[in-house]
Amino acid sequence: MEKRNIRWGIIGLGKIANKFATDLSALDDTELVAVASRNQGNANDFAQKYNVKKAYNSYEELAKDTDVDAVYIATPHSFHKQHSILCLQNKKAVLCEKPFAMNLQEVTEMIAVAKENNVLLMEALWTFFLPHFNYVLELVKNEKFGNLKSLEADFGFKPTFDLESRLFKKEIGGGSLLDIGIYPIFAALSTLGMPDDIDTKATFFETGADAECTMIFKYKDAKATLKSTLLEETKTEAIYTFDAAIVKINTQFHAPSTVTIIQGKNEETIDFGYKTIGYNFETEHFNQLLRRSKKESDVMTFEFSKNLIKTLDEVRKMIGLEY
């Protein structure tokens, strides 16, 4: 791709799209040129807020816009496949918010369409690109403190119960598991790999969406204890226990944070000097892939995305959650 601004579009203009748009402005040679919502008023307001030239009330129109190079998909989970494929078929590079889709079958379809159209596709799991998380990944990889023996990771908050909120609507992938449980599961898969065995239990809202899910991932020489909940505020930390140290990603571990290393009585906390919300790191990686004409990330690979959704599918099957 020639050296010019990468021109972005956004489909779905909720909270996460606002965060993405805010951090997009921190990147060089990058501009937000089009946004789309099913509601023209929402599209106009978003466009005005972020100084965007084009505001569509049709996702199809944005997908067909020849001035757009890449599209960020930020619609509810159940629409990720449909909207990603729409953009891929119109030769747009796609950065699709996590979870990639509702199940492995949908993810497999999306990847196939990306390959058919020779277009870049990546799951937007921003944590994978944050400096503090990569620091911990390097500690694991280099065995600086010996082998990783256990992980404890949780993510919980207590939203106001609202039958109209996407969080409580089972049919669009609401509940704790797909929305926030993906982060503790990601913390395990990125450091310990795919588990040999899983134990899990869950409670449910009256809507059928899962309210809380606890999971134990078992490995040959390690264990991960994971939890997602919409019933209480939790510390939302990730604690890695090695042979010779405890490494803690402080609250909230999935977002820009600090890392504390505990060795006996010695304790050191590392600050990574974040100046943004944190979405710019995944976007910069995606921009680099696009400039190098890559069709798949070497970090958030298709294989990793498939393993992640496979694990989510397995947990859902075990707790009896079907969409």
Domain boundary among 107, 127, 147: 127
pLDDT band (50, 70, 90) for residue 266: very high
pLDDT band (50, 70, 90) for residue 216: very high
Structural domain total, the chain:
2
Q: 25 with 119, same domain? A: yes
Domain boundary among 127, 142, 166: 127
Q: 261 with 157, same domain? A: yes
Q: 77 with 145, same domain? A: no
Q: 234 with 158, same domain? A: yes
Mean pLDDT value across residues 252-270: 98
Residue 151 placed within a domain: yes
- Looking at the predicted structure, is the pLDDT value of residue 31 above 70? yes
Question: Model-level pTM greater than 0.75?
Answer: yes
Closest CA to 46 of 22, 28, 73, 71: 22
Domain assignment of residue 10, given as a range: 6-127
Q: 40 with 77, same domain? A: yes
Closest CA to 316 of 188, 232, 230, 198: 198
Other beta carbons within 10 angstroms of residue 204's beta carbon come to: 17
Domain boundary among 127, 157, 174: 127
In the chain, the largest separation of any two C-alpha atoms, in whole Å, equals: 60
- Looking at the predicted structure, is the pLDDT value of residue 99 above 80? yes
Other beta carbons within 10 angstroms of residue 76's beta carbon come to: 17
Residue 70 placed within a domain: yes
Residue 313 placed within a domain: no
Return the bridge partners of 56, or none. Answer: 36
Q: What does the pLDDT look like over 34-80, one tens digit per residue?
A: 999 999 999 999 999 999 999 999 999 999 999 999 999 999 999 99
CATH of the domain at 181: 3.30.360.10
pLDDT band (50, 70, 90) for residue 1: low
Instruction: Summarize the chain as % helix, strand, coil (round to 5).
Output: 40, 25, 35
- Tracing tokens 């090695």 back to the chain, one arrives at 242
DSSP element (H, E) containing 212: strand 210-218
Q: 206 with 242, same domain? A: yes
| Token couple for 143 | 């065995």
Q: What's at 304, amino acid-wise?
A: F
Residue 323 placed within a domain: no
Q: 21 with 148, same domain? A: no
Pairing outcome for strands 246-249 and 238-242: antiparallel
Residues of 173-191 as b/e, b for ≥16 C-beta within 10 angstroms? bbbbbbbbbbbbbbbbbbb
Q: 96 with 213, same domain? A: no
Q: 78 with 198, same domain? A: no
pLDDT of residue 2: 63
Residue 87 placed within a domain: yes
